[in-house]
């Protein structure tokens, strides 16, 4: 709490007059703000500001840093909701926003924006609305991307406010409406500049509705005349406009300039990028605007009557003076001129280029670079000066001493000229004339007006100079016009389109006044105020207000509406003088149309424009020349000031302000005058509070507007700074370029120098080359000579060498010859020695020969002797020899035949051998096959035999079992048969027998009795019923046989010891075969076949070896059988051992031994 | 060449691809066509391939020596065998050891006992383990072979073979079994050892009865094919395989009794698997 109190104190201290204290306190606040993050301090500051409007607090609030922005915005938002604080808080917001705080981007997210929009949509207070709209317009470029969400709100606001401008709901002061209109106009520009596509589509949809059509015609259409076609309309799209990327690159001032670029309004427009046309057009507008009061303004003024502006009192007065005529006059010009303005403006638009060129040639910089801020003052000044002049001038300068001839000339000339300069002239004329008038009036009537006039003259230094000339000229011109118009009226309707002269007729004089009065809408006010000096304007106004705020309204409304209306009839004739007065009012509508045909003053085309064109060619010329000179002298600005008037709401507002200022100044001037006070008293003492309020509001609005404009200026300044930097950069670059160029030139020079030296060097080089060439040729020739010499020498040497060779050859030949000769000598020597030897040999041979010849002779004699002897004996031996030969031959023959025979025999025998061998092989093969077969058969037989044996075995088993059974039964029978024995005993015996049998099966010894029984049973059963006899062993089985034979052998050993075995064997075999089990008998054939086999085998043996004896045959036979028998015997022996094992043991061990011996003997014998 | 031409020309391809024994029947027929049957070849064949059921009895008879290798003597030998069978049967009937009511298997047993001379004095005498094995084998064989004579002879010779030919090798089998099991799955063996079930495994059933009553008929036939053809090691492998097949279950069992019991009832498990 203490702190709060402290804050209160501090706040109060803030407003202390002491500068140092104030600074200290501000510093304290700022420190606090830096340290404290809470919203409290900000809130208190805001509250305090709302209470006191303290400037230091405002300063603190506007420089708030980041963390407090939210609190501030929240607070503002809070207050915006309350109707009472809305206005002041909005102005605070405006202050804050205009300073572009670092947190401006947060504005789009803050809840403040929607509430502001809501307020704009809902509020009905014009002051609040205007302030809000201005704040919004200021904010828009800072938060362009927020358009997405609130775009429709913006548009709605625009639609609402634009309709407001027209419909004026409630008791809205006209003056407010002017402000509102200006702000709406700015909003229009901003919206159109930022979101053209969306905005245009909004306009299209919004104003396609019937109820909005009027608004469009009246309000929006004129606005549209101040803008070019936005390029985005062609290239962009709705979405593209809202794309945040598009806005990211643009800063706030960029956006502002972007919007300004679109504008054709000279006060708004920016000419940065060389929009020359617009620039010129706009350059022209200012003049208009300077001269012409815009219709809305006028309307408001009129309708509102004297409510605000004193200047209108004059018009009021005039109106009052001629009330009856008013409607007509008002309507007539408008109707007449409806058709014309378009054409004129078309002309202007199309034909503007040349003049534009002119403008370019003469003053290229003037209008474009002049910021609106600059132009305004000028125009204002102008307006004020002119304004003061006109009202008085209208009546005063009416005298028309005009040459008629001009008009016609002009009619002809004007059109052609129109292409080149007329518009310019016009403007100049327009602008000039008012000036003139003003000056005129000022000079003539008012000494009071001097200061403003001088102002104007100061700004347009030359103007005053030629104003005088023009003034006089104007009069004549007026005359001209008059007459020309009359003639027109009578004759010309042919070129109706192009020549808006028709109205001229009626407007001659009025036009002039029109132009005068209308050219400066401020002039009215100014003039009125000026007049008011004599007439006490304000009371008049008030009275008028009271008297006829309604009537004039009604009277004027026709002006607005009749634009398309039916007031065509009222023709020109009548209008001449009567309309003079009314025309004072009309001009404004008249002037407006050129800029906005469909707009406020759509009905009123600019007749005087045209008239000027037509009527004042020369003056225009003059003026242009003057102007150009003037402009050449003055770098800029003037043209603009002199430019064509425009009726943009801004201008209207400007003028309003100017007039207000004028009035104020005048009032200040008039203060000493008694009349005023008298008036005041006369009308009721004190001025009405209502008036004061409205004035205050207006002041506030003006202040807002001013702040807005200042903001715009700041943006422009920002931009200018940037551009300047760019320019400087460009200049630096140019400098750099120039320097580079210089360097280039220097280098080129160097290069040329080098080239020259190069040439020199080349020449020297070529010289040297030549010298060298000559030297080379000389040397070459020398070399050639030397070579030649050398070759000669070479040839000589070669010749000499050949000679040398020849000589050498000769020497060699000679040597060879020498050698040959030597050889020959040697050879001959050798030959000689040989010959000598041969000689000696031949001598010895000769000696031998001689000896031999002697021998030969001797031998020959002996031979002859022997020959003789031989011949004597030869006859006897021949016979014998022949005989012997014959014998020998015969013998030979014989032997030969024998040999042949022998060979033949051999052959046959060989063949035979071969045959036999093959036979043998075949036989062998056959034998092999036979063997195989035999083997096969053997196997087969063995298989069968095995089966049979197994069967036999089985049989044996069966029989055994049977025997067992029988024995068992017997045992039982015996037991049964023994009556004396107890049955129990029998049973025991049977059991015992059974047990025994079991034991027997296991190989245990049987009881003798059991054995005997068994044996007897066996014999009896198998073969014979009789029991075993002495020799019945033949019937018994093998075992028995053997035993019997042994028995036999024992007694009959001596008689047939040798044959015994055989016989016994045979016997046994036979016996066996005859008496053994039928199966064995059955198997005999097989054994027989087996025997046959054996026989074959024997035969084979025989064929192989024929040296066997019969006995051996038998033995071998027996032997071959023996295994079989042996087997049988073995089996039987086994069985006998099994069955009869105990039996042999009792008879005699000797017999067994005998048997063994016998066996041994047999085998021994066989082997032996 | 002739053999090849008679055989299916695709057989080589089949063998390459891995279908073994597609042409077994044909080749067996070719083997059986030889007048003197080649016992060796038949042995290798039956060891290598499962015998077609239609020739099984014949091949077994030949391999077991019931029939000689010569076709000519088959009829004759068979009559002998038949007579022998009827004789023995008759004898048994005569001594009232068997009657019509006696189950066939027991008849076979008595006949065998009679032929081997081991017939007890009374049929009421308790059976010996050998006889139990015989009965099991006979029971299995009875299902395989229709003809009673053939059946008897095959049983008889089969058992004879076991008792004679494999007399020496059969006692070695349990050791071989352990060895192979160790190779295949030592964990299982250790488990068995842990449970001390190794010695208590049903070797009796496996090796004395040759899995009779332990395996389903079709499997048993194949096993016996090998046994008949002279390989008793197959029994070891079959046993190892059985253990491996039921490894999880065996591993789950902890006591020797349970394992033994389970393995004795393996047939049921097999049926559970097959159905």
Question: For residue A129, what is the domain's CATH number?
Answer: 1.25.10
- Is B38 touching A (CB cutoff 8 A)? no
Calpha distance A539→A537 (Å, rounded): 6
Average pLDDT, chain A: 63
- Is A730 touching B (CB cutoff 8 A)? no
Across residues B65-69, what is the average pLDDT? 84
Q: Are A501 and A611 in contact (CB under 8 A)?
A: yes
Cβ within 8 Å, pair A958-B73: no
Give the distance from residue A1002's alpha carbon to the nearest chain B alpha carbon, in angstroms. Answer: 9
- Is there a domain that residue B11 lies in? no
Q: Are B136 and B213 in contact (CB under 8 A)?
A: yes
Residue B181: give its domain's CATH number.
1.10.472.80
3-class secondary structure, A92:
helix
Chain B residue with the nearest C-alpha to that of A936: B36
Segment among A368-372, A840-844, A944-948 with least mean pLDDT: A368-372
Q: Which residues of A touch B90 (CB under 8 A)?
A: 958
Higher pLDDT, B195 or A360: B195
Q: pLDDT tier at A850 (50, 70, 90 boundaries)? A: very high
Environment class of A241 (CB within 10 Å of its CB; exposed 0-12, middle 13-18, buried 19+): buried
Chain segment A321-345, per-residue pLDDT in tens: 433 443 343 333 433 433 344 444 4
Whether B154 and B207 share a structural domain: no
Per DSSP, helices labelled H in A263-371 are 276-291, 295-304, 311-321, 325-338, 340-361, 366-369
Higher pLDDT, B230 or B269: B230
Segment among A61-75, A473-487, A653-667, B45-59 with least mean pLDDT: A473-487
* pLDDT given at position A672: 46
Q: Are A228 and A264 in contact (CB under 8 A)?
A: yes
- Is B95 touching A (CB cutoff 8 A)? yes
Higher pLDDT, A573 or B31: B31
A101: containing domain: 7-227
Give the distance from residue A948's alpha carbon to the nearest chain B alpha carbon, in angstroms. Answer: 6
Q: Which residues of A touch B115 (CB under 8 A)?
A: 953-954, 957
Q: Which residues of A touch B36 (CB under 8 A)?
A: 936, 939
Cβ within 8 Å, pair A961-B84: no
| Tokens linked to B78 | 């068979």
On the question of pLDDT at A1057 being above 50, the answer is no
Whether B24 and B157 share a structural domain: yes
Q: Are A525 and A663 in contact (CB under 8 A)?
A: yes
Cβ within 8 Å, pair A958-B91: yes
B92: containing domain: 18-164
Q: Could you give the percent of chain A with pLDDT greater than 70?
A: 47
Give the distance from residue A1042's alpha carbon to the nearest chain B alpha carbon, in angstroms. Answer: 26
- Is there a domain that residue A203 lies in? yes
| Tokens linked to B181 | 């099991």
* pLDDT given at position A669: 59
Segment among A73-77, A507-511, A778-782 with least mean pLDDT: A507-511
Give the distance from residue A925's alpha carbon to the nearest chain B alpha carbon, in angstroms. Answer: 20
Residues, chain A, total? 1168
Segment among A183-187, A316-320, B144-148 with least mean pLDDT: A316-320
- Is there a domain that residue B184 lies in? yes
Pick from A635, A632, A720: nearest CA to A366: A635
* pLDDT given at position A566: 37
A485-489, A971-975, B191-195: which is most confident: A971-975
Across residues A345-372, what is the average pLDDT? 39
Calpha distance A1082→A1038 (Å, rounded): 17
Helix A587-595 with A607-615: angle, nearest 10 deg: 80
* pLDDT given at position A530: 40
Q: Which residues of chain A from 959 to 988 reach within 8 Å of chain B, CB to CB? A: 960-962, 965
Calpha distance B153→B165 (Å, rounded): 17
Whether B153 and B220 share a structural domain: no
Across residues A232-252, what is the average pLDDT? 80
Higher pLDDT, A861 or A1120: A861
- Is B62 touching A (CB cutoff 8 A)? no
Across residues A1156-1166, what is the average pLDDT? 44
* pLDDT given at position B115: 83
Q: What is the number of other CB atoms lying within 10 angstroms of the CB of residue A393?
A: 30
Whether B52 and B144 share a structural domain: yes
Helix A276-291 with A649-670: angle, nearest 10 deg: 30
Whether B148 and B197 share a structural domain: no
Higher pLDDT, A185 or A611: A185
Of A939, A947, A960, the CB nearest to B80: A947
On the question of pLDDT at A710 being above 70, the answer is yes
* pLDDT given at position A985: 58
* pLDDT given at position A335: 38
On the question of pLDDT at A187 being above 70, the answer is yes
Of A936, A957, A998, the CB nearest to B114: A957
Across residues B83-109, what is the average pLDDT? 84
| Tokens linked to A424 | 């310019």
Chain segment A764-773, per-residue pLDDT in tens: 999 999 999 9
On the question of pLDDT at A1104 being above 80, the answer is no
Of the three residues B137, B164, B191, the one that is the final residue of a domain is B164
* pLDDT given at position A1031: 42
- Is there a domain that residue B10 lies in? no
Whether B42 and B130 share a structural domain: yes
On the question of pLDDT at A640 being above 70, the answer is no
Whether B187 and B238 share a structural domain: yes
Q: Which residues of B touch A958 (CB under 8 A)?
A: 87-88, 90-91, 114
In order of A299, A463, A534, A582, the CA distances from A548 in angstroms are: 14, 40, 22, 16
3-class secondary structure, A626:
helix
Residues linked to residue A263 through DSSP beta bridges, in sequence order: A227
Calpha distance A183→A174 (Å, rounded): 14
Cβ within 8 Å, pair A954-B84: yes
Cβ within 8 Å, pair B84-A950: yes
Cβ within 8 Å, pair A958-B119: no
Chain B residue with the nearest C-alpha to that of A957: B115
Gyration radius (Cα) of chain A, Å: 85
Q: Which residues of B touch A936 (CB under 8 A)?
A: 36, 70
Of A943, A960, A994, the CB nearest to B70: A943
Q: What is the number of other CB atoms lying within 10 angstroms of the CB of residue A1165?
A: 12
Q: Are B27 and B14 in contact (CB under 8 A)?
A: no
Chain segment B108-130, per-residue pLDDT in tens: 888 888 888 887 877 777 878 88
- Is A929 touching B (CB cutoff 8 A)? no
- Is B86 touching A (CB cutoff 8 A)? no
Whether B42 and B145 share a structural domain: yes
* pLDDT given at position A161: 83
Give the distance from residue B3's alpha carbon to the nearest chain A alpha carbon, in angstroms. Answer: 23
Chain B residue with the nearest C-alpha to that of A956: B115
Q: What is the number of other CB atoms lying within 10 angstroms of the CB of residue A777?
A: 10
Q: Which residues of B touch A960 (CB under 8 A)?
A: 117
Chain segment A617-631, per-residue pLDDT in tens: 444 455 555 555 655
Environment class of B26 (CB within 10 Å of its CB; exposed 0-12, middle 13-18, buried 19+): middle
Whether B77 and B131 share a structural domain: yes
Give the distance from residue A989's alpha carbon to the nearest chain B alpha carbon, in angstroms. Answer: 15
Calpha distance A288→A883 (Å, rounded): 193
Cβ within 8 Å, pair A947-B81: yes
Calpha distance A1074→A970 (Å, rounded): 30
- Is there a domain that residue A208 lies in? yes
Across residues A14-39, what is the average pLDDT? 76
Chain segment A524-535, per-residue pLDDT in tens: 443 344 443 344
* pLDDT given at position A195: 84
Chain A / chain B CB contacts < 8 angstroms: 72
Give the distance from residue B210's alpha carbon to the nearest chain A alpha carbon, in angstroms. Answer: 26
On the question of pLDDT at A718 being above 90, the answer is no
Of the three residues B164, B193, B226, the one that is the final residue of a domain is B164
- Is there a domain that residue A64 lies in? yes
Across residues A1002-1011, what is the average pLDDT? 42
Of A943, A954, A960, the CB nearest to B77: A943
Looking at residue B70, what DSSP letter applies? B
Among left, alpha and beta (phi > 0; psi -120 to 50; other), residue B52 is beta
- Is A950 touching B (CB cutoff 8 A)? yes
The widest CA-to-CA distance across chain A, in whole angstroms, is 237
Of A940, A946, A958, the CB nearest to B70: A940
Q: What is the residue whose two structure tokens read 């026709």? A: A558
Calpha distance A137→B84 (Å, rounded): 135
* pLDDT given at position A450: 39
Give the distance from residue A1000's alpha carbon to the nearest chain B alpha carbon, in angstroms. Answer: 11
Of the three residues B145, B164, B183, the one that is the final residue of a domain is B164
* pLDDT given at position A260: 79
Chain B residue with the nearest C-alpha to that of A960: B117
Whether B136 and B48 share a structural domain: yes
Task: Give the count of domains, chain A.
Answer: 1
Residue B69: give its domain's CATH number.
1.10.8.680
Burial B233-258 (b: 16+ CB within 10 A, else e): ebbbbbbbebbeebeeebeebeebee
Whether B262 and B248 share a structural domain: yes
Chain B residue with the nearest C-alpha to that of A1079: B80
On the question of pLDDT at B66 being above 70, the answer is yes
* pLDDT given at position A1066: 45
ipTM above 0.85, yes or no: no
Q: pLDDT tier at A636 (50, 70, 90 boundaries)? A: very low
* pLDDT given at position A810: 95
* pLDDT given at position A1094: 55
* pLDDT given at position A990: 60
Q: What is the number of other CB atoms lying within 10 angstroms of the CB of residue A973?
A: 13
Chain segment A897-920, per-residue pLDDT in tens: 999 999 999 999 999 999 999 999
Q: What are phi and psi of A310, to 5 degrees?
A: -65, -35
* pLDDT given at position B239: 81
Looking at residue A397, what DSSP letter applies? T
Residues linked to residue A644 through DSSP beta bridges, in sequence order: A288
Q: State the best of A958, A991, A1079 to mutate against chain B, taking most chain B CBs within 10 Å.
A: A958
* pLDDT given at position A826: 94
Whether B159 and B174 share a structural domain: no
Cβ within 8 Å, pair B88-A958: yes
Across residues B143-162, what is the average pLDDT? 85
Give the distance from residue A958's alpha carbon to the nearest chain B alpha carbon, in angstroms. Answer: 6
Task: Give the count of domains, chain B.
Answer: 2
Give the distance from residue A944's alpha carbon to the nearest chain B alpha carbon, in angstroms. Answer: 6
- Is there a domain that residue B275 lies in? no
- Is A992 touching B (CB cutoff 8 A)? no
Calpha distance A402→A406 (Å, rounded): 9
Higher pLDDT, A237 or A1063: A237
Q: Are A602 and A596 in contact (CB under 8 A)?
A: yes
Of A936, A954, A961, the CB nearest to B119: A961
* pLDDT given at position A382: 39
3-class secondary structure, A1126:
helix
Give the distance from residue B109's alpha carbon to the nearest chain A alpha carbon, in angstroms. Answer: 14
Q: What is the residue whose two structure tokens read 């000044």? A: A381
Chain segment B17-56, per-residue pLDDT in tens: 766 656 677 778 888 887 778 888 888 888 888 788 788 8
């Amino acid at each position: 709490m203490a702190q709060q109190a402290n804050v209160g104190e501090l706040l109060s201290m803030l407003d202390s007059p002491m500068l140092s204290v104030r600074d200290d306190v501000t510093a304290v606040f700022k420190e606090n703000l830096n340290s404290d993050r809470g919203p409290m301090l900000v809130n208190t500051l805001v509250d305090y500001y709302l209470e006191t409007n303290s400037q230091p607090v405002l300063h603190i609030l506007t420089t708030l840093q980041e963390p407090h922005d939210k609190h501030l915005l929240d607070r503002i938002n809070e207050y915006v909701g309350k109707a009472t604080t809305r206005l002041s808080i909005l102005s605070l917001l405006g202050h804050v926003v205009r300073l572009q705080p670092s947190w401006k981007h947060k504005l789009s997210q803050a809840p403040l924006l929607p509430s502001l929009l809501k307020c704009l949509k809902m509020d009905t207070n014009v002051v609040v609305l205007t302030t809000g709209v201005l704040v919004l317009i200021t904010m828009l470029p800072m938060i362009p991307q927020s358009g997405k969400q609130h775009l429709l709100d913006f548009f709605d606001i625009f639609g609402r406010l634009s309709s407001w401008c027209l419909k004026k709901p409630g008791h809205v002061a006209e003056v407010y409406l002017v402000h509102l209109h200006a702000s709406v106009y700015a909003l229009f520009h901003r919206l159109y500049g930022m979101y053209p596509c969306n905005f245009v589509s909004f306009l299209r949809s919004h104003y396609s509705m019937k109820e909005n059509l009027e608004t469009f015609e009246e309000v929006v259409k004129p606005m549209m005349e101040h803008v070019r076609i936005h390029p985005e309309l062609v290239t962009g799209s709705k979405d593209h406009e809202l794309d945040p990327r598009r806005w990211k690159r643009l800063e706030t001032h960029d956006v502002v300039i972007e919007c300004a670029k679109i504008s054709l309004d000279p006060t708004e427009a920016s000419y940065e990028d060389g929009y020359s046309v617009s620039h010129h057009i706009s350059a022209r507008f200012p003049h208009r605007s300077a001269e012409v009061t815009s219709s809305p303004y006028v309307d408001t003024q009129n309708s509102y009557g004297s409510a605000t502006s004193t200047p209108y009192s004059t018009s009021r007065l005039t109106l009052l003076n001629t009330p009856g005529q008013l409607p007509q006059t008002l309507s007539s010009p408008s109707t007449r001129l409806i058709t014309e303005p378009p054409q004129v403006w078309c002309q202007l638009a199309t034909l503007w280029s040349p003049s534009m060129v002119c403008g370019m040639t003469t003053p290229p910089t003037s209008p474009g670079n002049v910021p609106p801020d600059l132009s305004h003052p000028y125009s204002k000044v102008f307006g004020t000066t002119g304004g003061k002049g006109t009202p008085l001038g209208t009546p005063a300068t009416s005298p028309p001493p005009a040459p008629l001839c001009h008009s016609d000339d002009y009619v002809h000339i004007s059109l052609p000229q129109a292409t080149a300069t007329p518009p310019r002239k016009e403007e100049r004329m327009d602008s000039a004339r008012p000036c003139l008038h003003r000056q005129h009036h000022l000079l003539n009537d008012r000494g009071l007006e001097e200061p403003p006039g001088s102002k104007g003259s100061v700004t347009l230094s030359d103007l005053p100079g030629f104003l005088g000339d023009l003034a006089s000229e104007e009069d004549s011109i007026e005359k001209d016009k008059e007459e020309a118009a009359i003639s027109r009226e009578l004759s010309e309707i042919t070129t109706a389109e192009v020549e808006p002269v028709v109205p001229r007729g009626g407007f001659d004089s009025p036009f002039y006044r029109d132009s005068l009065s209308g050219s400066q809408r401020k002039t009215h006010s100014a003039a009125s105020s000026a007049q008011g000096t004599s007439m006490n304007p304000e009371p008049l106004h008030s009275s008028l207000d009271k008297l006829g705020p309604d009537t004039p309204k009604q009277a004027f409304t026709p002006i607005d509406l009749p634009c398309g209306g039916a007031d065509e009839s009222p023709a020109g004739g009548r209008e001449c003088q009567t309309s003079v007065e009314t025309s004072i009012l009309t001009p404004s509508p008249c002037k407006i149309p050129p800029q906005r045909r469909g707009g406020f003053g759509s009905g009123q085309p600019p007749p005087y424009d045209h008239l000027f064109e037509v009527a004042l060619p020369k003056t225009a010329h003059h003026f242009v020349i003057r102007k150009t000179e003037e402009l050449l002298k003055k770098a800029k600005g003037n043209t603009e000031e002199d430019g064509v008037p425009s009726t943009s709401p801004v201008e209207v507002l400007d003028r309003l302000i100017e007039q207000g200022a004028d009035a104020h100044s005048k009032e200040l001037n008039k203060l000493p005058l008694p009349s005023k006070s008298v008036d005041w008293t006369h009308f009721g003492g004190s001025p009405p509070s209502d008036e004061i309020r409205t004035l205050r509001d207006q002041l506030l609005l003006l202040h807002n507007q001013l702040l807005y404009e200042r903001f715009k200026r700041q943006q422009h300044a920002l931009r200018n700074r940037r551009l300047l930097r760019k320019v400087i950069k460009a200049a630096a670059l140019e400098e750099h370029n120039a320097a580079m160029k210089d360097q280039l030139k220097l280098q080129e020079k160097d290069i040329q120098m080098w080239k020259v030296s190069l040439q020199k060097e080349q020449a020297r080089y070529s010289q040297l080359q030549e010298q060298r060439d000559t030297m080379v040729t000389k040397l070459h020739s020398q070399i050639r000579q030397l070579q030649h010499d050398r070759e000669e020498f070479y040839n000589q040497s070669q010749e000499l060498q050949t000679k040398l060779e020849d000589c050498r050859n000769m020497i060699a030949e000679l040597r060879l010859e020498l050698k040959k000769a030597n050889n020959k000598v040697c050879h001959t020597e050798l030959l000689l020695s040989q010959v000598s030897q041969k000689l000696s040999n031949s001598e010895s041979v000769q000696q031998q020969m001689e000896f031999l010849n002697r021998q030969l002779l001797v031998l020959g004699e002996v031979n002859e002797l022997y020959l003789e002897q031989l011949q004597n004996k030869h006859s006897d031996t021949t016979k014998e020899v022949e005989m012997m030969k014959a014998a020998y031959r015969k013998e030979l023959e014989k032997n030969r035949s024998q040999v042949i025979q022998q060979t033949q025999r051999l052959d046959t025998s060989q063949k035979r051998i071969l045959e036999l061998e093959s036979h043998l092989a075949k036989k062998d093969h056959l034998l092999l096959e036979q063997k195989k077969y035999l083997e096969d058969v053997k196997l087969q037989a063995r298989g069968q035999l095995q089966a049979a044996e197994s069967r036999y075995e089985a049989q044996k088993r069966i029989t055994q079992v049977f025997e067992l059974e029988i024995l068992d039964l017997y045992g039982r029978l015996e037991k049964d048969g023994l009556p004396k024995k107890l049955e129990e005993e029998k049973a025991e015996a049977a059991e015992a027998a059974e047990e025994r049998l079991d034991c027997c099966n296991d190989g245990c010894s049987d009881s003798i009795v059991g054995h005997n029984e068994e044996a007897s049973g066996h014999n009896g059963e198998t073969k014979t019923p009789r029991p075993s006899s002495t020799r019945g062993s033949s019937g018994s089985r093998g075992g028995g046989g053997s035993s019997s034979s042994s028995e036999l052998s024992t007694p009959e050993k001596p008689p047939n010891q040798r044959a015994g075995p055989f016989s016994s064997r045979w016997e046994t075999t036979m016996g066996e075969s005859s008496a053994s089990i039928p199966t064995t008998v059955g198997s005999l054939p097989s054994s027989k076949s087996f025997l046959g086999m054996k026989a074959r085998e024997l035969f084979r043996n025989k064929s192989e070896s024929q040296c066997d004896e019969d006995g051996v045959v038998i033995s071998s036979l027996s032997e071959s059988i023996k295994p079989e028998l042996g087997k049988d015997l073995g089996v039987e022996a086994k069985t006998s051992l099994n069955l009869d094992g105990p039996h042999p043991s009792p008879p005699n061990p000797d017999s067994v031994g005998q048997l063994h011996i016998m066996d041994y003997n047999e085998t021994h014998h066989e082997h032996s | 060449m002739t053999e090849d031409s008679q055989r299916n020309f695709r057989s080589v391809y089949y063998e390459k691809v891995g279908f073994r024994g597609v042409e077994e029947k044909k080749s067996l027929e070719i083997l059986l066509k030889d007048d003197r049957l080649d016992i060796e070849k038949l042995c290798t064949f039956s060891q290598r391939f499962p015998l077609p059921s239609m020739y099984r009895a014949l091949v077994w008879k030949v391999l077991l020596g019931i029939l000689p290798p010569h076709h000519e003597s088959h009829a004759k030998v068979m009559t002998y065998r038949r007579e022998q069978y009827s004789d023995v049967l008759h004898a048994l009937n005569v001594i009232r050891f068997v009657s019509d009511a006696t189950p066939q298997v027991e008849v076979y047993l008595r006949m065998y006992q009679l032929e081997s001379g081991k017939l007890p004095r009374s049929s009421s005498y308790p059976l010996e383990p050998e006889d139990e094995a015989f009965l099991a084998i006979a029971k299995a064989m009875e299902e395989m072979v229709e003809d009673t004579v053939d059946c008897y002879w095959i049983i008889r010779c089969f058992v004879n073979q076991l008792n004679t030919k494999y007399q020496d090798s059969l006692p070695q089998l349990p050791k071989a079994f352990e060895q192979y099991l160790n190779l295949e799955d030592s964990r299982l063996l250790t488990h068995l050892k842990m449970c001390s079930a190794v010695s208590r495994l049903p070797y009796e059933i496996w090796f004395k009865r040759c899995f009779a009553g332990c395996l389903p008929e079709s499997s048993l036939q194949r096993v016996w094919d090998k046994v008949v053809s002279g390989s008793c090691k197959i029994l070891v492998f079959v046993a190892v395989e059985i253990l491996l097949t039921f490894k999880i279950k065996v591993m789950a069992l902890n006591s020797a009794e349970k394992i033994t019991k389970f393995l004795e009832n393996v047939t049921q498990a097999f049926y559970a698997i097959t159905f």
